[in-house]
């Protein structure tokens, strides 16, 4: 008998958008939960199933990487089913269409909540309240329900109704201030959207903890995950230094307060780089040996961490003169063999073709009905007793309407047709006005 995944038998109502929330439900789906995306045809969320309304085919090659991430740069007839972002985090999910704000919409949503275990949402602040489906309401329908809400700034406080996107919330959380180049200002900090991935993983962890609590008590709960607060946890030592010492940290760029050399160095080739991090005198001596400059380890300019930090510019010039004669992988392999932390700076192609990832079989093959067969990034972790799930591709919009409405919710054929007439059921968006990224 095959081992059961940890969340088999758990049902998740997915009201998520963009990246952070869908990452939560992706992880829950990987763990075996049945995830049902509840999607509006009349209010399509920007940056979830691609840029909406979609760009014309001839404009796609001129747009940014995320905006043009359609199969073969072709939006096709239903672009919302062909975009890389959604097709990555949409795996192992079902899709139903429903207009909660239309006649009978709340009735349908209530039926779904009553037979579910978890509700996840990260919509614009205030939307859930306007729809009349906040926690006091849904918990009255189902007292065992766990509801995860992921507003930018939390459900309380003066910012609770403020809007936010990854880059703006990272700025408020203090993350952008420490990431720019030291000789510049925060405008040199490129967006990372670190917050979305971090909040997604934290949200999944919070849901698992709430499920454990429910198993012991029989009661559900509301989880208030403020994404800005979650992000600030990643720079906790910097915040604590201010509270203890009154110091506001500037940006180190690629350098480090307790390591030298520590940076990214040019190598052979066009725009090819390697990262090197040296924390101890022993590692520095090993670096000098590999470079063929063993005398540098005893040079008073570099013999201690303090000396190396005081002379980093000169040391960086010496190291880069050596790295420029080699490829990133040659530097990486030589230094790692000597016990020195180093790694090539990879672009997407390098990461995809990396022999280590290939040897571990990390990329997984998936066939999508409107995108064909491709390799997808794998799971966040591996476990020995039962593999995580990688079974079904991202759903097309409304793909599972009949299953959810009829088999799960018990609507008859006649009722299903009536709900379709009311605008709840379909496989295409109805664009009323441009939405763009929001």
CATH code of residue 47: 3.40.50.10540
Q: Say what the pLDDT of residue 436 is.
A: 37
Q: Say what the pLDDT of residue 67 is.
A: 67
Q: Say what the pLDDT of residue 125 is.
A: 87
Q: Say what the pLDDT of residue 221 is.
A: 99
Residue 358 forms part of a structural domain: no
Domain, as residue range, for 223: 11-233+363-421
Do 50 and 126 share a domain, yes or no? yes
Query: Mean pLDDT for each consecutive 10-residue tract of the chain (438 residues)?
Result: 87 97 98 98 89 80 75 90 94 98 98 99 94 98 99 94 85 83 79 86 98 98 96 90 92 90 98 98 98 98 97 98 98 98 96 96 95 95 92 97 99 98 96 48
Do 39 and 130 share a domain, yes or no? yes
Q: Dump pLDDT digits (tens) for 234-293.
A: 888 999 999 999 999 888 888 999 999 999 999 999 999 999 999 999 999 999 999 999
Q: 183 catalytic, yes or no?
A: no
The domain total for the chain is 2
Do 148 and 289 share a domain, yes or no? no
Q: Taking the mean position of all CA atoms in its chain, how far away is CA 379?
A: 12
Residue 152 forms part of a structural domain: yes
Do 177 and 272 share a domain, yes or no? no
Does an H or E element contain 21, and which?
helix 20-30
Do 56 and 199 share a domain, yes or no? yes
Q: Say what the pLDDT of residue 176 is.
A: 84
Q: What is the 3-state secondary structure (H, E, C) of 300-356?
A: CCCCCHHHHHHCHHHHHHHHHHHHCCCCHHHHHHHHHHCCCCEEECCCHHHHHHCHH
Q: Taking the mean position of all CA atoms in its chain, how far away is CA 372?
A: 24
C-alpha–C-alpha distance, residues 73 and 163, integer Å: 31
Do 327 and 370 share a domain, yes or no? no
CATH code of residue 275: 3.30.1540.10
| Burial letters 262-300, b for 16+ CB under 10 A, else e | bbbbebeeeebbbbbbbeeeebbbbbbebbebeebbeee
Do 212 and 142 share a domain, yes or no? yes
pTM value is 0.93
Residue 6 forms part of a structural domain: no
Do 334 and 368 share a domain, yes or no? no
Residue 151 forms part of a structural domain: yes
Distances (CA, A) of 298 to 35, 303, 307: 60, 5, 11
Catalytic residue (one of 14, 30, 117, 196): 196
C-alpha–C-alpha distance, residues 191 and 168, integer Å: 9
């Amino acid at each position: 008998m095959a081992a059961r995944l940890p969340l088999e038998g758990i049902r998740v109502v997915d009201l998520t958008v963009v990246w952070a929330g869908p990452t939560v439900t992706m992880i829950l789906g990987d763990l075996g939960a049945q995830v049902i995306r509840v999607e509006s045809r009349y209010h399509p969320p920007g940056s979830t199933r691609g840029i909406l309304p979609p760009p014309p085919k001839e404009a796609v090659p001129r747009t940014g990487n995320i905006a043009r991430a359609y199969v073969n740069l072709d939006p096709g007839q239903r672009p919302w089913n062909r975009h890389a972002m959604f097709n990555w985090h949409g795996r192992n999910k079902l899709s139903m269409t429903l207009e909660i704000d239309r006649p009978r919409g709340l009735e349908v949503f209530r039926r779904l909540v009553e037979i579910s275990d978890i509700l996840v949402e990260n919509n614009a602040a205030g939307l859930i309240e306007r729809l009349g489906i906040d926690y006091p309401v849904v918990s009255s329908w189902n007292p065992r329900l766990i509801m995860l809400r992921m507003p930018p700034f939390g459900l309380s406080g003066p910012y609770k109704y403020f809007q936010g996107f990854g880059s703006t919330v990272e700025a408020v959380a203090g993350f952008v201030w420490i990431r720019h180049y030291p000789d510049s200002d925060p405008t040199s900090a490129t967006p990372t959207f670190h917050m979305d991935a971090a909040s997604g993983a934290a949200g999944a962890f919070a849901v698992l903890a709430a499920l454990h609590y429910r198993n012991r008590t029989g009661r559900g709960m509301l989880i208030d995950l403020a994404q800005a607060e979650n992000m600030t946890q990643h720079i906790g030592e910097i915040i604590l230094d201010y509270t203890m010492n009154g110091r506001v940290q500037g940006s180190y760029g690629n350098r480090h307060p307790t390591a030298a050399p520590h940076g990214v160095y040019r190598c052979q080739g066009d725009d090819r780089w390697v990262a090197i991090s040296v924390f101890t005198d022993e590692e520095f001596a090993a670096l000098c040996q590999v470079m063929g400059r063993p005398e540098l380890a005893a040079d008073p300019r570099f013999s201690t961490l303090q000396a190396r930090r005081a002379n980093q510019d000169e040391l960086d010039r010496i190291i880069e003169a050596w790295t420029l004669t080699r490829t990133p992988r040659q530097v990486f392999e030589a230094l790692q063999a000597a016990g020195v932390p180093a790694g090539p700076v990879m672009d997407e192609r390098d990461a995809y073709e990396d022999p280590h990832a290939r040897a571990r079989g990390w990329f997984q093959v998936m066939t999508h009905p409107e995108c064909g067969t491709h390799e997808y990034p794998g799971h966040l972790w591996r476990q020995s007793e039962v593999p995580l799930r990688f079974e079904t591709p991202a759903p097309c919009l409304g793909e599972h309407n009949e299953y959810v409405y009829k088999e799960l919710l018990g609507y008859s054929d006649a009722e299903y047709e009536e709900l379709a007439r009311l605008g709840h059921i379909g496989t295409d968006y109805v664009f009323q006005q441009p939405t763009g990224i929001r």
